[in-house]
Amino acid sequence: MFKRIEKEDSEPEFATSFNVECLCRTPKPLKDAVNFKDDLNSLFRQGLEGKLEHKFYLSSLDPGLGKTESYLSFLRWWKASDFEPEGSVLICLSTIREIEEVIPRSGLGKADYAVLVTASNPLNQLGRGASERDKARVLFTTHSMMEKRLRGKLLAFNESLHFEGKARTLRIWDESLLPRTPVSIRVDDMAGLASPLRGNFPGFVAAVEAFVLSVRTMGAGGSVMVPAFTSDISSALPSKRLDPDEEKTVDALLRMQGCRMQVVHDRYHGLALVGATQALPDDIKPLIILDASGRVSSTYDLWETHGTNLVRLPSVAADYANLSVHVWQNPAGKKYLGNGANRRRIVEELVRIINANPSEPWLVIGKKDSLVEIQKEVDDAKPRSARVEYLNWGAHFGVNDYREFKNIIVIGAWPHTSAAYQARYIAATGACPSTLSGKEWTKIKSGELKGNLLQAICRGNVRNHTGGRCGDSTVYLIVDKGCRPLRLVRETFPGCKVLDWTPIMATPSKHAAAVIEVIKKAFEEPSLARLRKAVVLTRAGISAKVASGVYRHRAVAEYLTSAGLAMDARWFKRQVP
């Protein structure tokens, strides 16, 4: 595929023959990673010289195998070669923090690079500064900045991304990419724009209200054309009148005006619109995508199946024999953890396993809104000497601060709504919304959950590979059994040890045992959907004065979870699958 040529007393030089026909989809073992990086360097050189075909090229190296280091080492080699061969480089990263981290490792001097981020950010003055960006051989920017600068505009006409008046030759996208941007809009969120915007933008609000009415009249299963909004509301954004979620809704409507979207029903959020819009212009190709989750992501499979412009390099999978994952198949979503009894049950178990090994640091990963309460309760109960750090989903990408942590607790797998998955399906395939059945999101969900787990668990010592294997790591994972967690873990981490983690059940009090028995007997009737809490008290012979304490008992919470039941202010009821 590629030939490596060594030159005496110099950095290695890489041959430039790239043969797509030689590519193999089968993941390579870790021992092949060195050769694979040589192949990747050859690909970088072809891109630099403008010799790549007009396509997207996907490279998948598991976290810790040197995805980012691959292009940084290439930059250092290019710098040492006095920037020969001739060319220029555009590197797109997920966050500003990542730009700050990679620049010192790139080996570039002040005159060699520039940065393009939000105008007010001082990073723009690094390197050659904002005034001489077009003279910098290497330009660092973010994904969001690329999408803003290139929305509706070709790369050839966007001078802020150019080198000496021309589009940069080697273009690298660090982390995941889809050929289109997925967009999902909750109908309730559209309706909620009326109050903050009616006074200043009555025309926009009237158009949105008419659109909401037409969507609700149509119902799930149909497709609608988003109207063109004549009000110049985009000039008012960002606005102090809107919170971040409201701004996102307005931005999504403006992005999709004049485009067709599918009307779907989301289990938790009611009616929603799903669709996709062009993320990057066609002349962004050739573009090399370096995605550590590419091996497990199903979006690339769909992209490849429904298009002809994606070239997948063979992925490199790590050996995870030194990873042990203890799986507790239990709900861990926002609603479940919002219940105090449920949360206490999980906190008690977390404190138990932390107390068993308090001398080593622990990392807890979970959803932000639930993690706040969990952190407070765990910190109050754990030994003061035990070091426990917390990281919320969404902030875990590209974070290497915990790479020495051997103990990780993961709460949930960060699932998204069915509407969000449906939008990703459209973005990956380019499917017309009007042709969808509404169930395509199931093809996306499994791959997305695998990617979440891979990125989260690889924040710790597992990313430190030695002798062909990952670093020693112990993970405690809490995931709803509906996500099929055992299969998810085995497919995400080949060769790992998967162990059952079943907490010791609490011993019920006399009153708790009576309540459990009544509920158990009542729900033996298959047709029973819900049971009044007042009826349970009467049958169990318990006074209403002690009811709240009984319902909060850990044994009751454990029974309800195991039986697939839920509890609200008035009812015990079956969970909807």
Q: State the DSSP string of 443-499.
A: HHHHHHHHHHHHHHHTTSGGG--BTTBPPPEEEEEEE-GGG-HHHHHHHHSTT-EEE
User: What does pLDDT average to over the chain?
Assistant: 89
pLDDT band, very low/low/confident/very high, at 427 (cuts 50, 70, 90) = very high
pLDDT at 434 over 60: yes
pLDDT at 231: 65
pLDDT at 7 over 50: no
Q: Does the 4-178+281-312 domain belong in CATH 2.30.30? A: no
Give domain limits for the chain.
4-178+281-312, 180-278, 323-500, 510-574
Locate the DSSP E strands across 222-306.
223-225, 260-266, 270-278, 287-290
The share of the chain scoring above pLDDT 70, in percent, equals 92
By mean pLDDT, which of 111-115, 138-142, 195-199 is the weakest?
A: 195-199
Model pTM? 0.83
pLDDT at 566 over 90: no
Q: Does the 323-500 domain belong in CATH 3.40.50.300? A: yes
**Angstrom distance (rounded) from CA 60 to CA 292:** 5
pLDDT band, very low/low/confident/very high, at 564 (cuts 50, 70, 90) = confident
| Domains 4-178+281-312 and 323-500 fall in the same CATH topology | yes
State pLDDT tens for residues 257-266: 999 999 999 8
Name 451's Cβ contacts closer than 8 Å, sequence gap at least 6: 176, 293, 296, 297
pLDDT at 236: 62
Helix (H, G, I), strand (E, B) or coil at 365: strand
By mean pLDDT, which of 41-50, 345-354, 426-435 is the weakest?
A: 426-435
Environment class of 390 (CB within 10 Å of its CB; exposed 0-12, middle 13-18, buried 19+): middle
List the one residue out of 147, 184, 183, 408 whose CA is nearest residue 280. Answer: 147
pLDDT at 314: 83
pLDDT band, very low/low/confident/very high, at 472 (cuts 50, 70, 90) = very high
